[in-house]
Amino acid sequence: MGFAVAIAAQAPLASIPGVTRSYYDVTGSNADQVRAAIDKSRPTDPNDGLRVDALTSSHYAWRWPGTGKDGCDLSRAEVTFTATMLLPRLAADATLSSTARKRWDAYIRDLETHETTHLANAYSARAQLADAIKSATCQTANAAGMQVLAKTRTLDLAFDKRTRHGQAAGASFP
């Protein structure tokens, strides 16, 4: 089952419903100070335990008529999806030189591209999730859904390993 698809950098986040973008502010008067602020504040990826500059977290919920009761109707299963993309943001008091600011802008662009790929992969998994649930029995539907989520996590891990959490594609600062 292949639902890991790289998406073009220009693909808008607006085309994926249920996405929230959040930030952690970093400051500094030069690139090294900003990097130190990122290192201090950045999140931990729950998939591999590494500290990362940005993180996309996805949440799926599913239900169907008769869930947990006799007469469940898996053909009417519904899957909802939400996600949060956490990125660093220069605080208002950050003062970078024009050269460092250009590097920052390129870094953020590449970091967003990397996280958007995670987001697209997660969003496309919801269709796989719905199909798995609808193809299961009432007793195995939740397990079938969890298998799809496990495959999605495996794909994310492989993507991060291949790209070194985006660094191989330019998502590094300074």
- Average pLDDT of 40-55? 96
Say whether pTM exceeds 0.85: yes
- Average pLDDT of 60-84? 89
Closest CA to 73 of 130, 129, 134, 128: 134
More confident residue, 11 or 19: 19
- Which of 17-31, 61-75, 151-165 is predicted with the least confidence, judged by mean pLDDT? 61-75
DSSP-based three-state secondary structure for 96: coil
| CA pair distance 111, 92, nearest whole angstrom | 20
CA-only gyration radius of the chain, Å:
19
CB neighbour class for 120 (10 Å; exposed up to 12, middle 13-18, buried from 19): buried
Convert the pLDDT of each residue in 21-34 to its tens digit.
Answer: 999 999 999 999 99
Half-sphere exposure of 118 (CA within 13 A, CB side): 31
Task: Give the pLDDT confidence score for residue 1 in this predicted structure.
Answer: 33
Residue 20 has pLDDT above 80, yes or no: yes
Q: Do 83 and 18 form a contact (C-beta atoms < 8 A)?
A: yes
Convert the pLDDT of each residue in 124-149 to its tens digit.
Answer: 999 999 999 999 999 999 999 999 99
Task: Give the pLDDT confidence score for residue 10 in this predicted structure.
Answer: 37
4 pLDDT tier (thresholds 50, 70, 90) = very low
Residue 6 has pLDDT above 60, yes or no: no
